[in-house]
Structure 1
Amino acid sequence: MRERLSATAVIADDEPLLRYHLNQTLAEVWPQLEVVASDQDGKSVLASIKQYQPDIAFLDIRMPGLDGISVAKALKSIDKVPLIVFVTAYDEYAIKAFDEQAIDYLLKPFNETRLLQTCERIQHYLKNRYSETQEGNKLSIDVLKSLVATIKSPANQYLRWIKASKGDDICLISVDEVNYLHAEAKYVSVYTHDDEYLIRTPLKELIKQLDPDVFWQIHRSTIVRVDAIEKVKRDFTGRMVVYLQDTGEKLTVSRNAQGLFKQM
């Protein structure tokens, strides 16, 4: 952003780690933005908006009590309505979000580049809001269609980080750090170069959220990051085995998945 404006914002998300992630990323892309409140539910953020009168509200849609859409509806009765950015993992709410005059819609997991685009859109809007008519302040139909098309784009839906547990801690792991995922019983183990974490999301759900050019499901219980593979070999029985770089770990390839390696 060439010229950064000063502004205030509130954040609402029922996941503490996601609130932290958004807060930290905003500090990187827009240092002049002051986050005046960070809340975990709709009722709390509504009170914060009335108290602090921020310029922007980053609202999760699925929250305890009042959801993000309900918060947006309730804001219509206050004097200073902030610009609304909905932040959610569920793209089916896109049209409802824009019905509530959201200036943008961030689909989790978002990256710094996508958040920067949002901040640039907000700054452009803030610069011009007082010179435009009330009607002109509303997002045009063409802009809405463009934003919804962006949201629906598969490229924006791939996971960029995974929330997993290690002992009593909850950690955010970049997918770039993941070597492979392996399902056992009720859990899926997430293996990085030097650590192991647990998640409950089934592999059949995870594979839909991972970039197919980056992650391959080589067995019904195993997903591997392609560039973590050092080599693929067959043993004397004809079984194919993947060897990982650095760690030297061996992962079995099912017969159905052997076709993935024909061009390697």
Structure 2
Amino acid sequence: MVDLKTITAVIADDEPLLRHHLNRSLSDAFPQLDIVASEADGKSALESIKQKRPDVVFLDIRMPGLDGISVAKALNGIDPIPLIIFITAYDEYAIQAFDEHAFDYLLKPITEKRLLKTCERIRSYLFSVRTEQRRTDPNSVEAIERLVARIQSPANSYLRWIKASKGDDICLVPVDDVNYLKAEDKYVSVYTRYGEYLIRTPLKELIKQLDPDLFWQIHRATIVRVDAIDRVKRDFTGKMYVHLSSDNVKLAVSRNAQGLFKQM
């Protein structure tokens, strides 16, 4: 089993209360995470990151002096670059944040559920990295570089996040959490393992931005995540349906899309 006890992190936020709260919340959600520095401004954060070389950085975007985006840009020369988790109360920074290879993006106030999800993504990613590194050469960084290139490379043009609404809230939904999308009236409903969200982007535009190995358009009104499919069945009339592995969901497959399942 790969040892994750050595994961280190730096917190940078100009709000003392938030730094304290995040530190305590992380100790509960991620006991293996060692907070090696907690800074109140971008310049101090950058110095600590360069000195401590943490695995993860929780980085506020709006800070006095050097802001979080500028800190992230300055990390391009560090090898390896830490996983950057941006923290902000302003969701309009999302696109800019991901241009700087953000691993995740937390909106204030940070909920326990959302923080737990982020911690699980960090654990899963670092487990994969360290497993791959140990499988090849324990002293080589090539395995890490390959995985970072796959996950964070700007050459990957597929969506990683979907900006969607849930009630009065605007949320950034990881594409990895999406089970299926369905066009309904003027909106598209995004169904995830954690709930339902709404977006205005038409399906015909979304399908161009999703990885075709992971998402199939099975109907003019439906896109489904392939690994969410449990089985495919026909009813007595010959119509084909996919059954998802969770939530007891059944989705119709159009005649034109049935060829997608010939090899399944």
- TM-score class, shorter: 0.5 to 0.7
Name the amino acid aligned to 2:122.
I
SS of aligned partner of 2:37: strand
Residue pairs, 1:107-256, within 5 angstroms: 107-129=107-129, 131=132, 133=146, 134-138=148-152, 141-146=157-162, 148-149=163-164, 153-154=166-167, 156=169
Name the amino acid aligned to 1:32.
Q
**Hey, what does 1:40 align to over in structure 2?**
40
Task: After TM superposition, give the deviation of residue 128 of structure 1 in Å.
Answer: 1.9
Matched, 1:5 2:4: yes
Mapped to 1, the partners of 2:74 and 2:68 lie a distance apart of 10
Task: After TM superposition, give the deviation of residue 5 of structure 1 in Å.
Answer: 2.6
Task: After TM superposition, give the deviation of residue 141 of structure 1 in Å.
Answer: 4.7
Q: Which runs of 4+ in 1 moved over 3 A?
A: 139-143, 152-158
**Hey, what does 1:53 align to over in structure 2?**
53
Matched, 1:92 2:106: no
Name the amino acid aligned to 1:71.
V
Mapped to 2, the partners of 1:143 and 1:128 lie a distance apart of 21
Mapped to 1, the partners of 2:84 and 2:13 lie a distance apart of 14
The answer to whether the 8 Å contact 1:59/1:85 transfers is yes
SS of aligned partner of 2:149: helix
> CA distance change for structure 1 residues 81 and 24 in 2, over 3 Å: closer, same or farther?
same
Cα deviation digits, residues 181-206 of structure 1 (max 9, x gap): xxxxxxxxxxxxxxxxxxxxxxxxxx
> CA distance change for structure 1 residues 84 and 155 in 2, over 3 Å: closer, same or farther?
farther
SS of aligned partner of 2:160: helix
Number of aligned residues: 153
Task: After TM superposition, give the deviation of residue 77 of structure 1 in Å.
Answer: 1.3
> CA distance change for structure 1 residues 64 and 142 in 2, over 3 Å: closer, same or farther?
same
> CA distance change for structure 1 residues 108 and 52 in 2, over 3 Å: closer, same or farther?
same
Aligned Cα root-mean-square deviation (Å):
2.3
Task: After TM superposition, give the deviation of residue 145 of structure 1 in Å.
Answer: 2.8
Task: After TM superposition, give the deviation of residue 33 of structure 1 in Å.
Answer: 0.4
**Hey, what does 1:72 align to over in structure 2?**
72
Residue pairs, 1:17-28, within 5 angstroms: 17-28=17-28
Task: After TM superposition, give the deviation of residue 4 of structure 1 in Å.
Answer: 8.4
| Structure 2 gaps, min length 5 | 133-142, 172-264
Task: After TM superposition, give the deviation of residue 122 of structure 1 in Å.
Answer: 1.0
Which has more radius of gyration? Answer: 1
The answer to whether the 8 Å contact 1:10/1:49 transfers is yes
Cα deviation digits, residues 52-97 of structure 1 (max 9, x gap): 1000000000000100000000000122311000000000000011
SS of aligned partner of 1:123: helix
Mapped to 1, the partners of 2:53 and 2:40 lie a distance apart of 18
The answer to whether the 8 Å contact 1:11/1:38 transfers is yes
Mapped to 2, the partners of 1:153 and 1:100 lie a distance apart of 26
Name the amino acid aligned to 2:93.
Y
| Structure 1 gaps, min length 5 | 159-264
Cα deviation digits, residues 80-136 of structure 1 (max 9, x gap): 311000000000000011111111000001111100100111111112235362421
Name the amino acid aligned to 1:137.
I
The answer to whether the 8 Å contact 1:13/1:40 transfers is yes
> CA distance change for structure 1 residues 157 and 75 in 2, over 3 Å: closer, same or farther?
same
Cα deviation digits, residues 3-49 of structure 1 (max 9, x gap): 98321000000000010111110011001100000000000000000
The two structures have a TM-score, normalised by structure 2, of 0.54
Name the amino acid aligned to 2:36.
V
